[in-house]
Structure 1
Amino acid sequence: MMSRHHRRPQARAIAKARSATSQRGLWAAGLTVLLALGLALPTWAENHGSDADSAAGAEIIETYGYSFYGDLSYPEDYKNFSYVNPDAPKGGEISLGVVGTFDSMHPYTRKGRAGALSTIMYESLLGEGPTGAAVPADVYGESYGLLAERLEYDAEKNWVIFYMRPEARFSDGTPVTAHDIEFSHNLLLDEGLKSYADAVRQRIPKVEVIDDHTIKFYFTPGISRRSLIDQVGGVPAWSKAWYEKTGAGLDESRLDVSPGSGPYMIDSVDVNRRIVYKRNPDYWGADLPFNVGRNNFDQIRIEYFGDDTASFEAFKAGEYTFRRETDSRKWATGYDFPKVESGAIKIENLIDGAPPAPSGIVFNLGSEPLKDRRVRQALALAFNFEWTNESLQYGLFSQRASFTQDTELMATGVPEGDELALLESFGDLVPQEVLTEPALVPHTSSPERLLDRGNLRKAMRLLDDAGWAVGDDGMRRNAQGELLSINFLFNSAASGTLSGVMENYVSNVGKLGVDITLEKVDASQYTSRERDRDYDLVYDQYGAFLGAGTGLMQQYGSETAAFSLFNPAGLASPLVDAAIDAALNAETREAEEAALMALDRALRYEFFMIPVWYNPNHWVAYYDQYEHPETIPPFELGYLDFWWYDQEKADALRASGALR
């Protein structure tokens, strides 16, 4: 279904984005707005003739939602999203287990560890799901208003005006106004992450509150129009009055936090043990089409555990009721206990339509020995995916090669067509092998033994060529006699299977004559060390992508590489920058796709990560008291979003003694 956009003074075709429902992709920021009758009223621009765009007769687009190319899948009068059950009952509890610790309920602070789901209380102009995922979850790159009922912008996207819903309220009953949005935007710039603040200041130089429920953002001339409207539409709404009263900021961890306007609010907090969120009985937006069939649980409970073994045993005992499994060993062998056999616990493989997160062993490119690509290649050859998958992971995974794995944007073979033309336009930034050789894929290894002797010999030669010679003691040193020492930072709260995989990898690296240490630290130390990039290697992940957005610059761009928390390798590549710029400045979806394919190829060439594995499915286990739509949308599992509670099944579980 095509959306209706109201335009002044004349209509103009905007390039249509390809349907994302046929692609496996990363969820994007997205929210929904119902277009109110206010569209028939004069706009702010019409009432304020001094506006340059109005005076010049520029085309103004008025709409109930937003996508970069202008088309929306849901019509103006949509009743609910197609994947939800509009008749889903409200009620019951869902409970989850989390491994780790927390000391704050302030999810946006630069200090401390925030409690799980602590963003759930907050909404934005263009809304999102309870875990920050895109809404709707069945299309890519589309937003529909939540706190905003409509928006308007000039065709060149030099500015945007949001018209907010006057009925929106924080959980303390006070109205959500444009002043709160302006305050939240500025607080993130003044006290938020430096990489975020620097990027936003360069792109959004001015915000203007027009009245209590109307706010305008101005965008810097001459830059890409990507992610500008999405950016400001996704700012969380915090209570300006609460911050001014308490003197709170983003530079501290806190257990008392600003009231939010979302469907859930904090009920109780027991630090490092339990967090309970409850439905706000007076939630202002409960009946919006955006929320029909969503936010169905009365209560969400989070239980904390010191490690995954304790967490799994607690699930079996019924201390919490829903588990997303990530440990292949547990999935293959751990779910044969009586509650599964009786049907009290249900296990499911549900298709995951999003490209897998690019996870793996990340090289700190600021580490002196790792600046040499040959050293990185040698260390990578010590990882045996085939043996690991067969021996430790029950053959359940596939090996990841791409940052857009299994999508139309995945670079394959040698570049050709539009991608080749784009790469050639980058001139000397592009190494010849990028143009003439197939996109880089991971090495293969023998599944028969952990240490592949052929790869061992290749790795040895690479280290020799890099100047790290083997001494009489079997250890490698450079010409200055310095030992090749590598520190691998690892979170001790990780699953036993993942820990075993990395221990085997470290054993292989040691056989190369490298002095390598797998340093296991608790979750708190791990977070602190990661922020300081105090490691040579770390098991981490980047973000997959299906479209161009300025988040690409924070993850992969050079400008913030020295300090971005989203770029654990510290990658700074002129070639990658050029591909990102091309994607951001593309004027058609076809040009954007060519640039993103070139970006995938460039990222793989830069070799800043050893890719590991991915799972094309969601592995879930839960006490059989929950229901979900027959078809899960491609971009979100949605167990906290559009699943619901079955009271009769819950009563039966308790009657049988499976749950207390």
Structure 2
Amino acid sequence: MFFRYLRQSPSRSSVRGALVRKAVLPVLTCSLLLASPLLSTVSQAAPSPSIAMHGDPKYPKDFKYLDYVNPDAPKGGQITYASQGSFDSLNPFLLKGVAPRGLWDADYGYNVYEPLMARSADEAFSLYGLIAEWADMPEDRSSITFKIRDEARFSDGQPITVDDVKFTLKLLEEHGRPSYKSQIKRIVAIEEPGPGQIRLVFDNGEDRELPLLIGMMPVLPKHAIDPENFAKSGMYQFIGSGPYLISQVDAGSKIVLKRNPDYWAKDLPIKIGQDNFDQISIEYYRDGTAMFEAFKKGQFDIQPESDPARWADQYDFNAIRDGKVEKKVFSSNLPTGMSGFVFNTRKPVFQNRVVRRTLATLFDFDWVNKNLYHGLFQRSGSYFQNSSLSALGEPASEREKALLAPYLDTIDANILDGSYLPVSAANNGEMRKLMRAALSDLAGEGYSLKDGVMVNEATGAPFVFEFLSTTKEEERLALVYARVLERLGIKMEIRTVDSAQYWERRKTMDFDMMKMSWSASLSPGNEQKSRWESSQRDVDGWFNQAGAHDPAVDAMINALLAARSQEDFTAAVRAYDRTLINGFYVVPLFHKGEQWVGMWKRIRYPETEAKGRPMAGYRPTVFWYGGE
């Protein structure tokens, strides 16, 4: 059974914390417990339609709409997006299969499925009621209570209930992605303190982000989902409560969503000015060249551009000259994150940190930037670069040193004092110096050159590894890196595979090195566990590709999750950044300071978007159709 009932007398209700931790947990056969409302006596804060990770939400209780939308945006028309690759599932909540964009998507919108609470785009991390009318969370964050809106409906008109929330938790705990499972397993009791209310009690309040993450979980219909078919993934369709319905599916190549005319939440303040198109299409292309050619012909509307060479040289086609397409530059106030060639440290060749640090010095960024990208990129060095959370240029504060105290002697001095920067050779002479230094460093780790081949002196094995790629751009970058390594007798074999094989090998950690990007926000939290915590090293999935297994990294993740003040949070994230940099899990690549987007002018956007008011830059969910 998923729930186990606990019977207790009222006289014991005053010892909820001790009861849950000491008496209940040892006898549970499942991770969740359904209990009487008497079980919880921790005082709650006043119910609120919004909650924030730190401090108070930006918008007052009576706000009318978000600052970055056009509240008068017209409804109608259509928008078509493009994505590279393919899809073989319609279930975005499973690890199995690859689902299309746009069903449950931070970029293209939570169009078909919806969370209890919705995140605003112009704050670090605040949530506003969507399916939930309000949330009630004690100061110690040991629980959270949601009140389901009376008017909340699934797309078939059935009301959303507490039973649907409980059903979803069970479904995702048993079959969902690892991130869902890890969060749900920390719920030790489920209560119903009032009509339409559900209280989730956690094992402790140390993870202060957990209540907000639970608020961002989807709510799925108990009456319309067969758990067995849900678990199989594939093309099994099920409904949600969002503003769109799945209208057409061309397996692997296209999905079409059409507006639900009876969408229940269209007049909520959190939804005003959004979901403006009658139809949303997402079309898939095998490679970036074909996709760009389709954009030039108007087969889709928005082209987020990542290639500086193309941005500089190839946006001179007829539609540009005719004024039908414009090049837009948006700013983002979020950290730029990290992009790099990730070392799979599960592989013996990359288990040595000094070897990884040495290899990271050999990427010829200056040549690549000048010759391939018109000098438009900046070198990446921090996982939270261009923000107050980055450790670059910042000596470790006393708060940070206290957090890092058990690990200080394992962290490079230049990373602690803030002087670390990724190594880049400005010219051929400097590259030769770096190569000589690399030979010396590798010799110190038991490698030597024999007949032009770098070998491990202990085993006699040549230094050989494979780079896994799926795009021409990745292959081009890898070739530049491989040529430098070849001069040191290191052989990097480049294997380019189709998207299906690439994603399968990525999920199962079946690679030596590949290109990865980690996005960043001003409120990093539990997603960092999936990406870097030791417990995720041997779990198949999309996240801890590096195979990180470092107690310093684990401790800093716990510290940032437990931080109660902004000062403590900033110190914890900077200390965490230092531990990631110090692990040398990647060959750092580069980032853009701005967002480049090609847009057909039939798509319009609020002027606040052009000014970059949303922290993440442009947001298609607030665009609308302006006519041909």
- After TM superposition, the score normalised by the length of structure 1 is 0.84
Distance 2:407 2:588 in 1: 28
Per-residue CA deviation, residues 260-306 of structure 1 (Å, 9 max, x unaligned), is 10111111011122111111111000111111111111111112111
Residue 41 of structure 2 corresponds to which residue in structure 1? 53
Confirm whether residue 536 of structure 1 aligns to residue 512 of structure 2: yes
Residue 235 (structure 1) aligned with residue 217 (structure 2):
yes
Q: Distance in 1 between matches of 2:617 and 2:564?
A: 32
Q: Give, in angstroms, the shift of residue 405 of structure 1.
A: 0.5
Q: How much does 1:414 deviate?
A: 6.1
State the partner residue of 1:276. 256
Compared CA separation, residues 88 and 424, structure 1 to 2 (3 A): closer
| Aligned counterparts of 1:468 and 1:635: Cα–Cα separation in 2 | 46
Q: Specify which of 556, 563, 568 is matched with residue 532 of structure 2.
A: 556
Distance in 2 between the 1:515 and 1:69 partners? Answer: 48
Residue 410 of structure 1 aligns with which residue? 390
Does structure 2 conserve the Cα–Cα contact (< 8 Å) formed by 1:122 and 1:237?
A: yes
In the alignment, what sits opposite 1:304? 284
Of 262, 265, 268, the residue aligned with 1:288 is 268
Contact map agreement 2:256 2:279 (CA 8 A) in 1: yes
Distance between the aligned counterparts of 1:614 and 1:473, measured in 2? Answer: 34
Name the amino acid aligned to 1:597. Answer: R
Residue aligned with 1:266, SS: strand
Q: Give the CA deviation at 1:516.
A: 1.6
- In structure 1, which of residues 103, 125, 148 is the aligned counterpart of residue 132 of structure 2? 148
Output the CA distance in 2 between the equivalents of 1:288 and 1:429.
53
**What's the CA shift for 1:70?**
4.6
| 2:230 alignment partner in structure 1 | 249
Report the counterpart of residue 521 of structure 1 in structure 2.
497
The one-letter amino acid of 1:517's match is E
* Correspondence for 2:375: 395
1:609 to 559, 562, 586: 586
Aligned match of 1:185: 169
Aligned residue identity for 1:219: F
Q: CA–CA distance in 1 between the matches of 2:431 and 2:415? A: 30
1:212 deviates by: 6.6
1:93 equivalent to 2:78? Answer: yes
Secondary structure of residue in 2 paired with 1:438: coil
* d(CA) in 1 for partners of 2:145, 2:441: 57
Query: Secondary structure of 2:225's partner?
Result: helix
Shifted more, 302-311 versus 574-583: the winner is 574-583
1:339-418 counterparts in 2 under 5 A? 339-413=319-393, 415-418=395-398
Percent sequence identity over aligned pairs: 33
Is 1:403–1:545's contact at 8 Å kept on the other side of the alignment?
Answer: no
Structure 2 counterpart SS, 1:278: strand
Residues 343 and 512 in structure 2, CA contact (< 8 A), matched pair in contact too? yes
Contact 1:377 1:462 in 2 (8 A): no
Deviation readout 1:187-221 (Å, 9 max, x if unpaired): 111112345423541x2222234567221100113
> Aligned partner of 1:80: which letter?
Y
- Matched letter for residue 281 of structure 2: R
1:77 to 50, 62, 80: 62
Say which of 431, 442, 445 aligns to 1:463.
442
Aligned to 1:337: 317
Q: Secondary structure at the match of 1:352?
A: coil
Indicate if the aligned counterparts of 2:187 and 2:202 stay in contact, CA closer than 8 A: yes
- Name the counterpart of 2:160: 176
Aligned CA-pair RMSD: 2.2
Alignment of 1:201-212 (within 5 A): 201=185, 203-209=186-192
With over 3 angstroms needed to count, the CA separation of the structure-2 counterparts of 1:356 and 1:427, relative to structure 1, is: closer
Q: Is residue 51 of structure 2 the alignment partner of residue 66 of structure 1? A: yes
Distance in 2 between residues matched to 1:178 and 1:300, nearest whole Å: 30
Tell me what 2:475 maps to. 499
**Structure 1 position 452, deviation (Å):** 2.0
- Write out aligned runs for 1:570-581 (5 A): 570-581=547-558
Shift of 1:437: 4.2
Residues in 2 aligned to 1:432 and 1:540: alpha-carbon distance in whole angstroms = 24
Gaps of 5+ in 1: 1-47, 128-134, 651-660
Which residue is equivalent to 1:265? 245
Distance in 2 separating the partners of 1:318 and 1:413:
45
Q: Which residue of 2 aligns with 1:480?
A: 459
SS of structure 2 residue aligned to 1:641:
helix
Mapped contact 1:440–1:605 kept (Cα < 8 A): no
- 1:479: how far off? 2.4
1:181–1:235 CA contact under 8 A, matched in 2: no
Q: What is the letter of the counterpart of residue 50 of structure 1?
A: L
Native 8 Å contact 1:103 1:112 kept in 2: yes
Query: Alignment length, in residue pairs?
Result: 583
Report the 3-state secondary structure (helix = DSSP H, G, I; strand = E; otherwise coil) of the residue aligned with 1:154: coil
Q: What secondary structure sits across from 1:501 in the alignment?
A: helix
Shift of 1:412: 3.3
Q: How far does the alpha carbon of each residue in 1:45-92 deviate from its partner, in whole angstroms, 9 at most, with x for none?
A: xxx9835426xxx35332111013351211111100111111111111
- Read off the aligned partner of 1:527 and give its amino acid letter: W
1:115 is aligned to 100
Q: Tell which deviates more after alignment, 468-477 or 563-572.
A: 468-477
CA contact (8 A) 1:265 1:279 kept: yes
Aligned to 2:33: none
CA distance in 2: counterparts of 1:472 and 1:213, whole angstroms: 75
Find 1:569's aligned residue among 542, 546, 555.
546
- Give the conservation status (yes or no) of the 8 Å contact 2:415–2:582: no
Residue 14 of structure 2 corresponds to none
Cα shift readout 1:23-62 (whole Å, capped 9, x = no counterpart): xxxxxxxxxxxxxxxxxxxxxxxxx9835426xxx35332
Letter in 1 for 2:93: Y
Name the CA distance, whole Å, in 2 between partners of 1:475 and 1:151. 60
Give, as a single letter, the amino acid of the residue that structure 2 aligns with 1:117.
Answer: G
**Contact kept in structure 2, 1:195 and 1:560, CA below 8 Å:** no
8 Å contact 1:422–1:594 — kept in the other structure? no
Distance 1:315 1:432 in 2: 47
**Counterpart residue type for residue 234 of structure 1:** M
TM-score after normalising by structure 2: 0.88
Find out whether 1:453 has 2:432 as its counterpart.
Answer: yes
Give the SS at the match of 1:91.
Answer: coil
Matched residues in 2 for 1:413 and 1:355: separation? 15
Whole-Å separation in 2 of the counterparts to 1:408 and 1:525: 39
CA distance in structure 1 between the partners assigned to 2:292 and 2:415 by the alignment: 49
Q: Secondary structure at the residue paired with 1:386?
A: helix
How far apart in 2 are the matches of 1:285 and 1:572? 44
1:512 is aligned to: 488
Query: Separation in 1 of the partners of 2:207 and 2:350?
Result: 36
Deviation at 1:626, TM superposition (A): 1.7
Do the aligned partners of residues 158 and 526 (structure 1) sit closer, same or farther apart at CA in structure 2, a change above 3 Å counting? same
- Any unmatched runs of 5+ in structure 2? 1-35, 105-110
Instruction: Give the deviation of 1:458 after TM superposition.
Output: 1.7
1:82 maps to amino acid: D
* TM superposition shift of 1:394: 0.8
Q: Aligned equivalents of 1:74 and 1:436: distance in 2?
A: 38
- Looking at structure 2, the residues matched to 247 and 210 of structure 1 have their Cα atoms a distance apart, in angstroms, of 31
Partner secondary structure for residue 62 of structure 1: coil
Cα displacement string for residues 543-592 of structure 1 (whole angstroms, at most 9, x for unaligned residues): 42423522222222222222253111011111112222222222211111
Matched, 1:547 2:535: no
Q: Which residue of 2 aligns with 1:441?
A: 421
